[in-house]
Structure 1
């Protein structure tokens, strides 16, 4: 996945629809949270086994919600001036230091 390409494509959609005015860091964080809640809703009331064996329609729906979350986070990083590759690498390195002991 090329994050620069994703960012450019999302900016093109944003700009074609005049959405930049709504893409403040606050709004993008809230939008990502709403999409996360929609993902959680797919798993609500399922057993552990059921959550690992979603039917094809629910699996596709989960994929759509994951995509929404990632794309909002890409936009949020852009608005905050964060390099998503770098923040993810940094967090992974931090987790490796903390949990690979």
Structure 2
């Protein structure tokens, strides 16, 4: 695990523990919260054409919701005892052997 990730997850756990939220941090509830935050990301784009440029306020809001989504991902990774960057690297390697109908190959 990278030093930066370790620092971030320690801060997150400290924040959670200070508020007594440990009892809510089981995989099921974290997954539900992750889904809700991901929906808030989607809501920013609701009813907008695909090529719409975000204004500064929308960009800030998107960054906040992405952070919330990542936070729940990090909490889940901590529960599983895995490094999220390792998970992404493994998935990239796996996807290299996969093919989709939309591939340009």
Same fold (TM over 0.5): yes
Query: Which one of 31, 34, 39 corresponds to residue 32 of structure 1?
Result: 34
TM-score, normalisation: structure 1: 0.90
Q: Determine which structure has the larger helix proportion and give its number.
A: 1
Distance apart, 1:81 and its partner CA: 2.0
**Over the residues paired in the alignment, what is the CA RMSD in angstroms?**
1.6
Q: Report what 2:68 is aligned to.
A: 68
Task: Provide the rounded CA distance (Å) in 1 between the counterparts of 2:45 and 2:14.
Answer: 33
- Greater Cα shift, 40-49 or 91-100: 91-100
Q: Report what 1:85 is aligned to.
A: 85
* Alignment gaps of 5+ in structure 1: none
Count of matched residue pairs: 99
TM-score, normalisation: structure 2: 0.87
Q: Deviations over 1:30-80 (max 9, x none)?
A: 101000001100000000111xx1011011000000000001100011112
Task: Provide the rounded CA distance (Å) in 2 between the counterparts of 1:96 and 1:7.
Answer: 29
Task: Provide the rounded CA distance (Å) in 2 between the counterparts of 1:96 and 1:78.
Answer: 27
Q: Report what 1:23 is aligned to.
A: 25
Q: Report what 1:10 is aligned to.
A: 12
Structure with more relative contact order (C-alpha pairs < 8 Å, separation 6 or more): 1
